[in-house]
Amino acid sequence: MELPEQGSLLRIFIGESDRYAGHPLFEWLVLEARRQGLAGATVLRGICGFGAHSRIHTFKIERLSEDLPIIVEIVDTREKLEAFLASVDGAIDEGLATIEKAYVKFYRHGEA
């Protein structure tokens, strides 16, 4: 698979405890992205953040949060990301999604 230099980056901000179809939502999103043939996905776990409810979610010894911020990042063409987002929209009850330009410098794996 090749990606054009002018790609896009989809970021989906959700909570660690969010679930869909009996699975963690972030895991379901990654599996769905792979099923739909997107270029790749990465899940990042935040150490502190807040969203629409303005509740602080943080990782501290005295206050262990079980709902830390999660960001799912996916890079592909804007068209494919828009289609993916439309297909998973109903699974995301709370969160934020952004799409921005991404300049793809390389997309490769180590096999010859």
Q: Choose the weakest-confidence range: 19-28, 47-56, 81-90.
A: 47-56
pTM, two decimal places: 0.86
Report domain 6-103's class.
alpha beta
DSSP E strand boundaries for the chain: 6-15, 19-20, 23-24, 41-45, 48-49, 57-60, 63-64, 69-76, 96-103
Q: Are strands 23-24 and 19-20 parallel, antiparallel or unpaired?
A: antiparallel
> pLDDT band for position 109 (50/70/90)?
confident
- Better-scored residue on pLDDT, 100 or 53: 100
> How many contiguous H segments (helices) and E segments (strands) does the chain have?
2, 9
Indicate if the pLDDT at residue 50 is higher than 90: no
Give the pLDDT confidence score for residue 37 in this predicted structure: 96
CA distance 24 to 3: 29
Domain boundaries, the chain: 6-103
The dihedrals phi and psi of 21, each to the nearest 5 degrees, come to 55, 35
What average pLDDT does the segment 57-79 reach?
Answer: 79
Please tell me the predicted confidence (pLDDT) of residue 48: 75
The position carrying tokens 């010894």 is 61
pLDDT bucket at 81, cuts 50 / 70 / 90: very high
